[in-house]
Structure 1
Amino acid sequence: MSSNFRMMMERYLQLIRLRYDVRRGYFTAALPLVIALLILFSAVMTGHTFPSQQLDSSFSGGSLSEEDAKKAAYQALVAQMEAEEAGIDPATLEERPAEEGEETARDNLDHILVYALLIGIIPYSIDSFFQKKNQMKKEVAFSEFLFKMSELMRGGIDPVKAVIDLAKTDLGSMNSPIKSAASKMVLGYSFSDAMGGVAEEMNSNLISKYINVVVQAAYTGGNVADLLQRTSEDMRAVIAIEREKESNLKQYVIIFYLAQGIVIMLSYLLSTSLLPMIQGVGAQMLGGVGLSDINFQYGFFHMILLNGLFGGLIIGQISEGELKHGLKHSAILIIGSYIACTILILPTLDAASLYSVDLVSGDGQSGFGGLTLTEPLVFQVVDKDGNPVPDTFVYLSIAPSGMVSGVLETDDGGNVSVSPVLGDSIGAYTITAQIGDSTAVAMASVIDGS
């Protein structure tokens, strides 16, 4: 019952393929690509966007315009006075939390793009991998078929009879095409037409080349058995050379994978050590954009994923001679890089949003313009549980003028200490410490020294 059902299903599938020309690529390439595009389209239509490559100006540590700085200082001073009148500690004031139902920015389109890309390339890359493995098996099986055919022809059997006899034996991966060729010969097809069908079904340039040799030898005459034996040996030698070449090129595959790992580690070190220090300087680049305004972490994230995509394609071209065979390497590199980035690089941005910074001491001092305050300002960074956060960077700014370290790293107690230099103008000044979305403001004033 099961064998009859299997034969019936195979017959229906064959009829569908013949009638509608259903190709394998429709399911392994076209369909996943359509699904990936639909996912991207849905994400865009529902408001997902790419994250901004620029940080908020308040987070940059750079200087504000004089008018905006004075306005901010005045507003901070008024808020502090109102808090003191109400008996509230100004240090406990926090920004208004988002109300329930308030719409938040969904800037995760780059993550969705990664998922869509993997959906689009993984099915085709897996199919290409197994197709190549099957093709290699068929090429080996065909070389054995040629050897067996030569042995039969040594006994005086003609090529057509040899193929029909071999179709009754177990030929491994060549069972189906050889049986089809034998059936065609029984029905009256010529030897060349039947073997041409084998070449078309195998879809292998190597097999097609040697089938052409076999057909020409069969029609030319002479010692065909010896020719087939030498052809079989030659084909085995070619297969062995191809395998040896791929084995020798594996070292370059390893080098590409190691290079991707090095790129990830360098990006991690830059984003956690060097760049926070540079960003605090606020140096100006071309176009008037400061270094402190650039979101380097997301830039590294995008660069690493693009390097993984194109690096995998290059691996396929070098090691296997076709770009499509590099898609599996691209998928592996993208998955590995994405996991590494979400663990090492992007959390430097996400973690900052979970921290808060508070003013510990030094608020409300007065001094002379152009001089440092008498006591240093001390700020502390804590996590959501109130525990101090060491070894994290705090961005500092002073308004409306003056000098302050652009960025400082917290000590073991989560504290940073800074001694700002006030501007020359008499009046109120604000010194702001910020990490993520959390800010703490210290007030100071310049008095008349005359």
Structure 2
Amino acid sequence: TPDAPRSDGGVPGEANGTPARRNFERLAAFERIRWLREWLSNPVRLLRDRPTRLLYATVPLGSLSVLVRAWPHLSAGTLTLRTFDDFVIQAALFVVGTFAAIQYVHRRRTHAIEDAVPNFLDRLASVNEAGMSVVESLGRVVRSDLGALDAEAEKLWADVRWGVDAETALYRFEDRVDTPTVTRVVTLVANAMAASGDIARVLRIAAAEARDARRLARKRRQEMLTYLVVIYLSFAVFLVIVAALNSILIPNLPTGTAAPDGGPGSTMGGGPLASIASVNVKAYTLVFFHTALVQALFSGLLAGQMGEGNVADGAKHATVLLTVAYGAFLVLP
């Protein structure tokens, strides 16, 4: 009959206007604006989890500020390269500095989570050794105090309670935290869970591996501290040399007057020093300024790669070096 119930719970006469179809449309619309709702509800958390998202806002803002500030000078015909440099460097400091602050918060949170992972695995192993299943062990451990891991453990348990299998929930936990230590631990535990429900020994091994990884990371940072000091000292030496050239050598170059004519027997009349009078002192200073800025930016990024193993962590070093370089050239005559 036309109104006979179907196996999917609907009836044939409602093919185009069923409540289920409308619900799916609402769900699709919600998924399209989900990122906006998350942003409005907690923008700090969204940026803390993915610091690179901040660049989507700060880079356009910095570029817009340069255009807005440079436009009156450009319209009046008074825009110089040095003035434009000021606008660009100030915008760059804003972009790099804000990113460095968010990246620092993100890195501190990640380190705190990685420090809490071994304790979490040890507790999980203890409960599993007592005879509980993996799911029951997760439920018991999540209710305890895990420090920085509390929020992520709650999400992990929420996935399990809503019907997600424990292995998939662990992989989703790995995607959220996204650190090498957690990736190795989750891969090891997930493979062990696929083989057996008694994974206490594997959890102990994973906890020991996580502790070893954290210890090696701390040792690496301590050993690389010497190289970070070398980078800062080399940049300071570079600035001292540039300051000496800019304050002592360049101002003493003869400019604005013709080179002295030594007559037919003079060595300067047709030699390479004959055009020294045409040296543009301001151009030399500008070249030194640009060179110092490039040196500061890439030295900072290199310091982050060497010290933390991540170029993004070099943003804080780049901010410090850029500020020092910019301040130094503001002080120089």
Q: Is the structural similarity TM-score above 0.5? A: yes
The question of 1:230 aligning with 2:186 is answered no
The question of 1:160 aligning with 2:135 is answered yes
- Look up the match of 2:280: 293
The question of 1:330 aligning with 2:318 is answered yes
Aligned partner letter, 1:38: L
- Provide, for residues 74-132 of structure 1, a one-character-per-residue CA deviation record: whole Å limited to 9, x for no partner: xxxxxxxxxxxxxxxxxxxxxxxxxxxxx794431111111011112111111111111
The question of 1:307 aligning with 2:314 is answered no
Q: CA deviation at 1:165?
A: 0.5
- Look up the match of 1:276: 251
Residues 177/113 of structure 1: CA separation in 2 closer, same or farther (3 Å cut): same
Match runs of 1:198-277 below 5 Å: 198-221=173-196, 224-277=199-252
Question: 8 Å contact 1:185–1:191 — kept in the other structure?
Answer: yes
Looking at structure 1, the residues matched to 315 and 272 of structure 2 have their Cα atoms a distance apart, in angstroms, of 37
Residues 195/141 of structure 1: CA separation in 2 closer, same or farther (3 Å cut): same
- Provide, for residues 325-352 of structure 1, a one-character-per-residue CA deviation record: whole Å limited to 9, x for no partner: 1111111001111112211x2x2xxxxx
Residues 312/26 of structure 1: CA separation in 2 closer, same or farther (3 Å cut): closer
The question of 1:191 aligning with 2:166 is answered yes
The question of 1:320 aligning with 2:308 is answered yes
Aligned partner letter, 1:293: N
- Look up the match of 2:61: 35
SS of 2:73's equivalent in the other structure is: coil
The two structures have a TM-score, normalised by structure 2, of 0.76
Match runs of 1:288-437 below 5 Å: 290=277, 292-295=279-282, 296-343=284-331, 345=332, 347=333
- Provide, for residues 213-250 of structure 1, a one-character-per-residue CA deviation record: whole Å limited to 9, x for no partner: 11211221275212211210111001110111011111
Question: 8 Å contact 1:285–1:291 — kept in the other structure?
Answer: no
The two structures have a TM-score, normalised by structure 1, of 0.57
Unaligned runs of 5+ in 1: 1-13, 50-102, 348-450
Residues 273/188 of structure 1: CA separation in 2 closer, same or farther (3 Å cut): closer
Looking at structure 1, the residues matched to 254 and 302 of structure 2 have their Cα atoms a distance apart, in angstroms, of 35
- Look up the match of 1:374: none
Residues 19/298 of structure 1: CA separation in 2 closer, same or farther (3 Å cut): closer
Residues 244/167 of structure 1: CA separation in 2 closer, same or farther (3 Å cut): same
Matched positions, count: 279
Question: 8 Å contact 1:264–1:341 — kept in the other structure?
Answer: no
- Look up the match of 1:111: 86
Residues 19/34 of structure 1: CA separation in 2 closer, same or farther (3 Å cut): closer
- Look up the match of 2:8: none
Match runs of 1:9-158 below 5 Å: 17-18=34-35, 22=39, 24=47, 25=51, 28-47=54-73, 105-107=78-80, 108-158=83-133
Would you tell me which structure has more strand in proportion to its own residues? 1
Question: 8 Å contact 1:126–1:328 — kept in the other structure?
Answer: yes
Looking at structure 2, the residues matched to 154 and 129 of structure 1 have their Cα atoms a distance apart, in angstroms, of 38
Aligned partner letter, 2:61: I
Q: CA RMSD in A?
A: 2.8
Looking at structure 1, the residues matched to 232 and 278 of structure 2 have their Cα atoms a distance apart, in angstroms, of 31
Aligned partner letter, 2:288: F
Unaligned runs of 5+ in 2: 1-30, 40-45, 260-267
Looking at structure 2, the residues matched to 187 and 156 of structure 1 have their Cα atoms a distance apart, in angstroms, of 23
Q: CA deviation at 1:15?
A: 11
Q: CA deviation at 1:299?
A: 2.3
